[in-house]
Amino acid sequence: MRYVCDMFKFAHISDIHLGPLPKLTLRELFSKRITGFVNWHRNRRKHLFVNTLDLLLSDLRTREPDHLVITGDLVNLATGIETRLAAEWLETIGDPTDTTVVPGNHDAYVRGAHDRSVKAWYPFIIGDEGTRDWDDETKVFPTIRRRGPVAIIGCSTSVATPPFSASGYFSPRQARETVNLLKKAGDEGLFRVVLIHHPPIHGAASSHKRMIGIRRFAAAISTGGAELVLHGHTHLNTVYWLKSQNGQVPVVGIASASQGPGGHKPRAAYNLFTLSGEPGAWNLVCDRYGLTEPGDAVALDHSHRFYGEAVRPMAVPEAARMI
């Protein structure tokens, strides 16, 4: 089938870090969580605010996107209470068919947390070809969700790591299956959007926060083809580029959706993508809406066209920071 799209809008948010932290037991603290607990009280709680997230989502709803994607870190320390509250929060966002989630490193903070998070948020993760019921023996990722002219392909780099590490891992198996999904979606004439938490770019994150398997991911994109990659993790508004068989693929990051004013990271923001056209002649505009400096409103602060007559994706550098 060859899709001709009049207009399809999808929004991207990331790094929710729902707070405040619940009370933790000594058993919960006797793990890597103690470092995250200290970091939260020394740093994150000063700048990550629920009302900031509420402002952002309220503004986002007025744009009436057809779909919302969330690229991980819904929680902070992946305690059972946090994971359950994040599931309840997701239910307030909208129907699971209209929101797609992939997990981040904070969602897999300690051993076993990744599976608990995926199980709790499964309706927002499950792909078109997945099983209705959660099965912890099933390799869930990569997933594919077809929404209008878009194929949303979810990947996971979410793994438990030692203290003072926030790295991610993209496995050979996941790479092979991602290539297959990308090729299949390309044959169907869909605009392929790949979701992943860690930036799949060398140097985009410090060594202890990097993604292991960057070359593997780049090879999957190059072989399978894609139109757009979305990630979180860095809490920055960035644009990088990866090579594919059809030219350069934009790799877009976004600030934390809970980042208030006054911190050293950019204030909370979301990207709204407007897609039109057809395979070989796509038009894609990205509008970034961010928290204003006083922190009491959300406004448009950047626009960029990635595909269309005015853009030559092959002409841009391989890595560029969004202004």
The pLDDT score that the predictor gives to residue 139 is 75
The pLDDT score that the predictor gives to residue 78 is 81
Question: What is the biggest distance separating any 2 CA atoms in the chain, rounded to whole angstroms?
Answer: 59
**CB-based burial of residue 142 (10 Å sphere; 0-12 exposed, 13-18 middle, 19+ buried)?**
buried
Looking at the structure of the chain, the number of domains it has is: 1
Q: Please, which residues have CB within 8 angstroms of residue 286's CB and are 6 or more apart in sequence? A: 252, 271, 272, 273, 303, 304, 305, 306
pLDDT tens by residue, 111-128? 888 999 999 999 999 999
CATH of the domain at 187: 3.60.21.10
- Cα-Cα-Cα-Cα dihedral sign, residues 46, 51, 57, 60: negative
* pLDDT band with cut points at 50, 70 and 90 for residue 83: very high
Q: pLDDT over 90 for what percent of the chain? A: 67
pLDDT tens by residue, 157-188? 999 887 777 899 999 999 999 999 999 999 99
Q: Among 116, 131, 124, 135, which Cα is nearest to 92's?
A: 124
The range of the structural domain enclosing residue 280 comes to 5-320
**40, pLDDT greater than 90:** no
pLDDT, averaged across the chain: 86
**254, pLDDT greater than 90:** yes
Q: Among 103, 144, 151, 139, which Cα is nearest to 126's?
A: 144
**261, pLDDT greater than 80:** yes
